[in-house]
Structure 1
């Protein structure tokens, strides 16, 4: 079974592309969603996060997202520490999930697939891109945030030019019909 990594910058349309693959019956693992679940359910992660960030990391048996975000986005060492706790656990969770699948390939979607090095465990990597002005408009509409807020998020991600060098397939996600046709072609190629 092939592991297909799928990544792209904020507002590129990863979710749209993932839904297209899922509609074709492809099992999809969304790392960010699973990480959020694990931060609340894994006693190992809980213990390590409390040790790193303090007891305030959890309130009422749930991750205190605001507290954690405030701590890690103002301290690169804490961010790296949190990532070092969560990413290995997500990797193990993905491996267990993959073992239960029976398809020709699965998709592992992760916004920071290249940044965290997990692309090295993929047989094929798909990069979803869109022009920056399109991405900014999408995120402003989706999240109700300002242009400068979106630009700040984009600056914290690798540029598409750097990601293109490592990707096997690039989907320029501007026109939905073109994107769907490309997803269909990729699906046939991978099956």
Structure 2
């Protein structure tokens, strides 16, 4: 089965592109959502996170303490690397099981903001990068997340792999720059992928 990765920095519009593929009947694995699920439900990972970050990593009710983990890891590169190194292998296993469950589809998509950073691009046959100009991205994020400041957004973008680097490493680029229509770009790729299966 053809496995297509879809990535891009915050605010480029990966989710809307994935929704278009989903309308075409293509299963989409949302790595961020599944990572949260795995962190809540994978007992081995829960033990690893508790050992690495202390008992505060989970509440007394056994819920993931996202605020604590974000505060601990986001401002400390070593802790962030540790968090990712623990979570990503479990998400990789979850994705493998999900692919098995979707064998009837012509191809599948995996949406992940950190496709290259997490090395999960290695599981993919081809990569799509969704691209948008920086000013458009910042405007979108501030509209979507009014609690964030422009400085917050710029800090997040600065931590992500440079967009030009992602575009060089991808086989396909979808431009979501508010100038080019998304649907024709998605349909063209959909036809290309179908022709390969």
Q: TM-score, length-normalised on structure 2?
A: 0.94
Equivalent residue number for residue 163 of structure 2? 160
Equivalent residue number for residue 53 of structure 2? 53
- Cα distance per residue 1:122-169 (max 9 Å; x no partner): 111000010000000000000012212111111011111111110000
Residue 138 (structure 1) aligned to one of 137, 140, 156: 140
> Are residues 1:106 and 2:129 paired?
no
**After TM superposition, where is structure 1 displaced by more than 6 Å over at least 4 residues in a row?**
none
Call closer, same or farther: CA 1:22–1:177 in 2, change over 3 Å.
Answer: farther
In structure 2, what is the Cα distance between the partners aligned to 1:46 and 1:36? 11
> Are residues 1:127 and 2:129 paired?
yes
Aligned length: 191
Equivalent residue number for residue 170 of structure 1? 173
Q: How does 1:75-94 map to 2 (within 5 A)?
A: 75-94=76-95
Structure 2 unaligned residues grouped into runs of 5+: none
Structure 1 unaligned residues grouped into runs of 5+: none
- Cα distance per residue 1:20-49 (max 9 Å; x no partner): 000000000000000001111111111000
